[in-house]
Structure formats: C-alpha cells, structure tokens
A = this chain, B = another copy of it.
Amino acid sequence: MTTIEASSNEFVVNPADIQAAATRIAPHVLRTPSIHSESLSKRLGCQVWFKPENLQHTGAFKTRGAVNAVMSLSEEEASKGVVTHSSGNHAAALARAATIRGIEAHVVMPKNSSRKKIDAVRSFGVEPIFCETSSQARSEMAEKVREKTGAAMVHPINDPRVIAGQGTVASELVAQIDGLDAVLVPVGGGGLISGILMLIKSLHPHIKVYAVEPALADDTARSLKAGHREMPVRYDTIADGLRSEVGVNTFPIIRHFVDDLFLVDEVLIGSAMRTLAEDAHLVAEPSGAVSFAGLISMKQQFAGKTVAAVITGGNMDFGECKLGRNRISS
C-alpha cells in the first residue's frame, strides 16, 4: 500500500476507482469465470487458468471500460451522448453501453474496419461514422463530432474511467483463483494491463503481472527500454487489437509496476489460438491468445506456479472456416 500512496498522484486511476467500477458495472457485464485447464496444466508444468473475456458481452473485455465510462457520466453529460473512435472491440462496447443508458453514441471507425466489427456496432442501432484510416484522421473526426454535439469523449485507452473498468478483471481474478502467482496480459494500448496492475500491485503485490506483446508490435517493449513512449513502426501483426501505441496515461502505470514483458512471434500466436481451441475449447481472436502465447514461451519460468492468462476477446472472422456455412437468421 505504501508504494501506491507514495505515487498515487502520478497516475490517472487508483485502486478505489477500480473497486467503484466493479460495483458500477456489475449489473451490465458478465462476471466471467476463471477456468482451470487440467490438461494444459499437465503439459505446461504449471497450474494454467484462463480468464475468458471472449465470453464477455460483445466478446471482449472492452465492455467493462465502456460501461464504466458511460455509467460514470452525470445526467447532464449523458444527455449529450458519447463519442469515440475505434476500429475494434471498443466501438461495439461503447455502442452497447450507450444503448443501456439510453443515450446517443457517435462511433468513428476507419473505413477499412472489418465487416464483423461494423456489424457489431450496428447491432446496437448505432451507424458508424467512417473516416480515413490514419490515427490522426480518426482523432480529428472524433474531435469534430465532439465539438458539434457536445458529446463526452470516451477514449478507448487513455480515459481513466475506461482503465478503471478494465481493471475489474483483476478483482475477479484474485477472488476466483486461490494462490494466484502470476497474471499474463496482452498489451496494445495498455488500458487493460494498467487497470490490472493498479489493482494487483496495490492490494496483492506478491502477484506478478506480465505484459505480452507481439514482436511485430513492440512499441511497449521499446518504450520500457527507452523510458519514454516510443511509437509503433509497423501495423501488420495478426493481433490487430494490439497494433495501437501504448497510451499516454497507461504507459506510466505499466512502466512503474509491470514485472516483465515478453515478446511473442506470429507463429506462436497462431499456435496459441489453435491450442486454446483444441484443448481449452475457447475461441480467441489473435490478440486474445497473445497472453497464452507468452505463457507457452516462458513455461520454464512458471514451473509449479499458478498462472492466469487473460483471454481478452474472441471476435474473429470465420469467413474461410469449413464449418457449416449457414448461419442462423436473425
């Protein structure tokens, strides 16, 4: 606790924010189970647990942060709606959260967003606002919408209410798994891992927290080495949810608290997805399997330990899959 108290002013969230978020979002998100895999434990030589946020509403942990942000708004703020920009799971999560509160959502999406992600937003009655694909174009369009409508901006990564919401994964993990030694978390923008770090390192500091990042999107690894934020240099990892730069509000938390960061290559991410499907019977999108890829690659380090890998999402395109092609009609 002293660590936190000494440094709490440096960071945009504190453990109390996460505990408040847990109460606030409880009626609207799934308390996902923690699932022990006996077969993978035997094969990897440690007690393997999964936190399957692919089973979460909208298929990803992003629902937690979005609901916390929307439910934190005052009546006056809420009356003007919310706005964000996202090509991924945050877009649908915010659309859903706004629907629950009965307010308008303005969701700016790059025009090359996947059909599945666009459909997910539309399933909540929200028509995306399309923009050019650059990071700058997205921000500018979202800012334009904000100025015009007065809507509250809910940044997918840096919003403190979003970070606090994502951190609720950690309070469930520690409640669900006895003797938890370590947690592995994918890092993209860092919203999830910074929330998890803030809760665990303040209340359960004996538990290790490791970031796992695709080697092809290693901006956080380079940032940690440099001591300041470094930008991505390529955007082609299969783990599309982890291509974004580490956030201005999340990097300080990661830098201060994280125990280590593991890089994983693309082949290993694919293997991890396959093993999750074949042995744990969970469908993870590439980004969602990155934490487990890190566990596979570092299994010696975790020998005999109780380890949880957060499976962050499951929204992937099955277009080429050979399974039955006739989907249920809506």
Q: Is the CB of B275 within 8 A of A59?
A: no
- The interface bits of chain A over 266-293 (1 if a CB of B lies within 8 angstroms of the residue's CB, else 0) are 0111111111011111111000000000
Chain A stretch 273-317: residues in CB contact (< 8 A) with chain B: 273-275, 277-284, 296, 314
Q: Which residue of B lies closest to A330 (CB)?
A: B43
Nearest CB in chain B: distance from A165 CB, A: 17
Q: How large is the interface on A (under 10, 10 to 19, 20 to 34, 35 or more residues)?
A: 35 or more
Give Cα A274–Cα B283 distance, bound, in whole angstroms.
Answer: 11
Q: Is the CB of B277 within 8 A of A324?
A: no
Give Cα A72–Cα B197 distance, bound, in whole angstroms.
Answer: 45
Give Cα A213–Cα B57 distance, bound, in whole angstroms.
Answer: 30
Q: Which residues of B contact A39 (CB under 8 A)?
A: 57-59, 123
Interface locus among A3-11, A28-36, A147-155, A185-193? A28-36
- The interface bits of chain A over 39-77 (1 if a CB of B lies within 8 angstroms of the residue's CB, else 0) are 100111000000010110111000000000000000000
| A132: interface (CB < 8 Å) | no
Q: Is the CB of A59 within 8 A of B327?
A: no
Give Cα A38–Cα B58 distance, bound, in whole angstroms.
Answer: 8
Of the residues B267, B281, B296, contact of A283 by C-beta under 8 Å: B281
Give Cα A57–Cα B279 distance, bound, in whole angstroms.
Answer: 10
Chain A stretch 245-270: residues in CB contact (< 8 A) with chain B: 267-270
Q: Which residues of B contact A42 (CB under 8 A)?
A: 123, 330
Give Cα A270–Cα B44 distance, bound, in whole angstroms.
Answer: 32
Give Cα A318–Cα B35 distance, bound, in whole angstroms.
Answer: 22
| A226: interface (CB < 8 Å) | no
Q: Which residues of B contact A321 (CB under 8 A)?
A: 274, 277
Q: Is the CB of B44 within 8 A of A324?
A: no
Give Cα A59–Cα B57 distance, bound, in whole angstroms.
Answer: 24
Chain A stretch 214-270: residues in CB contact (< 8 A) with chain B: 267-270
**A contact residues vs B (CB 8 Å cutoff):** 30, 33, 35-36, 38-39, 42-44, 52, 54-55, 57-59, 123, 267-275, 277-284, 296, 314, 318, 320-328, 330
* Across the A-B interface, the 9 shortest Cβ-Cβ residue pairs: A270-B324, A281-B314, A271-B324, A54-B281, A281-B283, A274-B323, A43-B330, A33-B33, A271-B326
Can you sample 9 A-B contacts with CB below 8 Å? A33-B33, A38-B57, A39-B59, A39-B123, A44-B328, A270-B323, A271-B328, A274-B321, A277-B323
